[in-house]
Each structure stands twice: as C-alpha cells, then as structure tokens.
Structure 1
C-alpha cells in the first residue's frame, strides 16, 4: 500500500503534472460557463510552467540536497559498496529483452571504476521492479548482474537484493543481504540529490554507510542564478527536486528517517 501511495503522491506533487492539471481545470471551467475562472486558471498554469521551466528554481531546490553530503574519504579501503537501483528501465528491458539504462546510469558506471580501485570490496546492488501493477518480467538486480559481469566484475564479489521497490526497502533489505559483513566500512553509491534520504534510511535500518554521491544534476552554487538550459530540462529539475523533498518530509513523518533533512 505504501508503495502504491508513494507512486500516486509522486505523480500528483510533480509541479509539471500539477500545473498541467490546473490548466486542464481552467479549460473545463471555461467550457462549463465560467470563462473568468477558467482564464485565470489557465493563465496561472502557463505562468507557473514558464517559471518552473526557465528559472533557476529547480537548482535552488536541488542544491541543498546535492551539497548536503560530501564524498567520503577513499581511505581506508571499504569492505563493500552499496549501489541503489534507479538506473534501469525495467519496463523496456522486460519488453525488449535487453539492458535498458535510465537517467541515473552514473550510479553503475561509477561502481565499475570503484570496483577496479578496490578489487577486494564486495558490491551489493539493491533494486527490484518499479512496476506499479503487475510485473515487468525482470528486476533491476537481474539487469545489474548482467552489466557488472560485462564490466569484468567477478560474480563472487556480487550480492543482490531483488525485492526493494523504494528507499526504505533498499536500506532494510541491503542490511539483511550484507549480514555480518555490514559491520565493516561500506560506501553508499546513489545520486547526490537522493543521498540525504538514502543515508537517513540506512541509519534507521542499522547499516552505517558512508556517502559516495554521484549523478549530480547541478554544477554547484553557480547554478543558483543561472536560467535553465531548456524548458524541458527546467521541468525535469524541478520535478526531481520536488519529488525528493516530498519524499523526505513523508519519510520523516512516517518515522523512516529521524530528521526532515539528515545531516552528514
């Protein structure tokens, strides 16, 4: 139930979706005989989309998340790396019978480099299926296995959690999959904007990981006053940031993390 509710909430709270629905509501109001209210709603939707798409608002929301956790020290060598899912499109992969990467693929390419840097480190990949209903026919863990083996990583180093569908489950099932080895030093590899929520969940699960953020979506503080490179890019940024902030607050209210913005 929580998984379904989170998907629905994520759709409704995405600014681009919300503004589009306001615009459609304006069309419906105008058609129903309230042209003034309809025009106001449509104008508000157009203005809101323009601000979201062209302004640096998305960067303002992403920067506090991306800057929150600096990368951990490379020494001493870690016992293992935990890599969170989100890098595969399981729907396309299941339909096409091939590995289909998503926008967060840097989580995987970073691990390929880290696996060579620390040849003794175990690699724990956590990710199931993102399907809201039914089954995509493949999990992210299965796709990750194929990809890591193609990178030349020995299967004896790999641990997989194929059950997780959200960050809470990532933390709980990763702790379970790591077993006694979780007492060693583990680095958590995920997108920088997602790191605060992920670290908070792992702490709550009793798995004291250290942050290794990747997949940055801003250049840094200099983006705070830079307009978006394109309308679509601006909408993607603000939707991503809004989803993460809503997720943080929801997880805090539900007790999955101990603070609305976990600290390093």
Structure 2
C-alpha cells in the first residue's frame, strides 16, 4: 500500500502529472508524427531531469571540482547570496551558505562579507543575511555588505572593491557546491586570492526504487546544474 500510495502521489503531482499529460498527448496524437515525437521526447526529457541518478550526473562535474578543506585561513569570509523572498526569508541555498559562513566565523574569528543585491526580490539579500547574523550574535562591526550585485560576476566585482578598501588580501569563498566552479572562475578573473569552501551539496549518490520516481525538488536541482553550465560557458566565452 505504501508503494502504491507513493506511486500515485508522484504521478498526480508535478512533474509526474506533466509527464503523464505529455504521454497522453503523444498517444492521442500518434497519427501526427510531429505531435507524437515532440510530446514523447518532452516527456522523456522531463522524466530524466526529475530523477535522482540523472540529477547527480549533472551535478557531479560541478560539485566534485572543490571540497571542504579541513584547514582554511584567510583575511575575510565571503558568503554569496543564493536568493531571498520578499518576506525577508532566505531561500534554502542562501540559508545553507550563511550557516556555513557563520560556522567559519566562529572557528576563525574572521570578518564576513555578505554579497547579494535585489536582482529579483525587493530586499537586498545581503541585508537579510546581515540581520540574521546579528541575531546569531555576530558583531555588526565584523560584517560588510555588498547590496548592489545582481549576479556572480557583480559579486566578484563589488567584493573586490570592499577588499581593496579594507585591505583584505585573501578570502575564503563560501557558496553552494554546484555554484562554486563558476564563482571561482569569476573571482579569480578579478585577481582575488581565494580559498574555495563549498557547501550545500545536493548529490544523493545512493539510490532505491523511489529514486527513479520523478520529483519536483530533483528537477529544480537539475535545472540549477544546467543553468550553471550555461553561465560558466557564457563567461568563459565573454571574459577573455
């Protein structure tokens, strides 16, 4: 009964619902080859990016690029924002990045630069993160904020300006593991001396039968990986 309940749930909620609809369209339109092949291909693609093994294959080249070092040192900890809601609540990715930065601060007693503007949300991510760190007991005089950056390229640009103003020479860069490869490339392009410290790892690596059922959160992680590849290639081609 548990398996049947899970099976029904997966296919009456997105993305399973969309896969089912596409398969129905493919069947009903099977006499029109273009409708059949486009619907079937769309259903297969949506299914693949919604299951854990494929998601992990997409993430592996990104998340395996850097690991958390047991010993790190630097002049300042830099935490990159990963999104915030207009209610003033951080997204899951931002929260994990901030928590990692906070733990490093407690261990190393180093200042923190919070980088993230309001590209989509109303409130600057950096300000939301700052208020949370203050509530956790971090001295506000040890927190610097970049509220202007709208993407990773601008993160690097504005963080470098803060480092130059404050005399920081070496930074510990904290961001999600899937995002670290692009972040490292852009930060090093500006000439900053960085030590990558990835967090928010999203690979599962161990699977069971339920790993092959389509899930919305898995599709979201696959989408993040695909977006990273697009962003990395874009900057590789444009920043020369």
- Do Structure 1 and Structure 2 share a fold, with TM-score over 0.5? yes
SS of structure 2 residue aligned to 1:78: coil
Would the alpha carbon gap of residues 123 and 55 (structure 1) be closer, same or farther in structure 2, given more than 3 Å must change?
closer
Please tell me whether the aligned partners of residues 52 and 212 of structure 2 are also in contact (alpha carbons under 8 angstroms).
no
Find runs of 4+ consecutive structure 1 residues off by over 4 angstroms.
180-183, 223-227
Give runs of aligned pairs for residues 19-168 of structure 1, distance below 5 A: 35-54=32-51, 56-75=53-72, 77-89=73-85, 92-93=86-87, 99-104=88-93, 105-119=95-109, 121-131=110-120, 136-168=121-153
Q: Distance in 2 between matches of 1:162 and 1:114?
A: 22
1:245 to 207, 229, 233: 229
Q: Distance in 1 between matches of 2:185 and 2:198?
A: 14
Q: Distance in 2 between matches of 1:162 and 1:64?
A: 30
Partner residue of 2:182?
197
Q: TM-score, normalised by structure 2?
A: 0.80
Would the alpha carbon gap of residues 123 and 246 (structure 1) be closer, same or farther in structure 2, given more than 3 Å must change?
same
The Cα shift of 1:235 comes to 1.3
Q: Distance in 2 between matches of 1:202 and 1:226?
A: 41
Please tell me whether the aligned partners of residues 90 and 128 of structure 2 are also in contact (alpha carbons under 8 angstroms).
no
Partner residue of 2:211?
228
**Unpaired segments ≥5 residues, structure 2:** 1-14
Q: Distance in 1 between matches of 2:230 and 2:208?
A: 23
The Cα shift of 1:66 comes to 0.6
Q: Distance in 1 between matches of 2:149 and 2:190?
A: 14
Q: TM-score, normalised by structure 1?
A: 0.73
Partner residue of 2:7?
none
Would the alpha carbon gap of residues 48 and 143 (structure 1) be closer, same or farther in structure 2, given more than 3 Å must change?
same
Q: Could you give the per-residue CA deviations for residues 182-214 of structure 1, whole angstroms, max 9, x where no partner exists?
A: 553310000011111001100011111110110
Would the alpha carbon gap of residues 197 and 47 (structure 1) be closer, same or farther in structure 2, given more than 3 Å must change?
same
**Unpaired segments ≥5 residues, structure 1:** 1-15, 94-98, 259-264
The Cα shift of 1:39 comes to 2.1
Q: Distance in 1 between matches of 2:154 and 2:188?
A: 13
